[in-house]
Amino acid sequence: MGGLFVSHLTYETLIPLINEAFDAFLENYSWSKANIAGSNIIIPKLEADYKSEAKSGDILKFDIAVSNLGRKSCDLIFQVTKNPNGEEVATVKISLVFYDYVSRKTLEIPEGFRSRFSE
């Protein structure tokens, strides 16, 4: 478990932090992963691009933006920076697909989500 035995941010520690930031982002809109504007999601893809090292004790800031808003999917872009100097640590992209687990089919992005994040 590299994240536990080294003093810098590894994927084993970054991904849970992204998950926490995602939860906080959703809570800001009174949503959860099980109910985003009335729909469920699946996350078929996650990409992490490390830019610089973050060490134990660094305070990290997570900025989140919605991009590539399509009919049934979109991406969330997480910019991870050191606080207060703003040094970029990582960019993480997760792809969201809106999904109905009962019918096992993809769904249109809910209007409540789309209207908040349309350009």
Q: Please report the pLDDT score of residue 119 as a whole number.
A: 66
- The stretch 36-59 carries a mean pLDDT of 94
Strand positions, DSSP E, 1-119: 40-50, 59-67, 73-83, 88-100, 105-106
User: 69, 77, 78: which is closest to 98 by C-alpha?
Assistant: 69
What global pTM score does this model have? Answer: 0.90
Answer whether residue 80 shows pLDDT above 90.
yes
Q: How confident is the model at residue 1 (pLDDT cuts 50, 70, 90)?
A: very low
- The stretch 36-65 carries a mean pLDDT of 95
Domains of the chain with bracketed CATH: 2-117 (3.10.129.10)
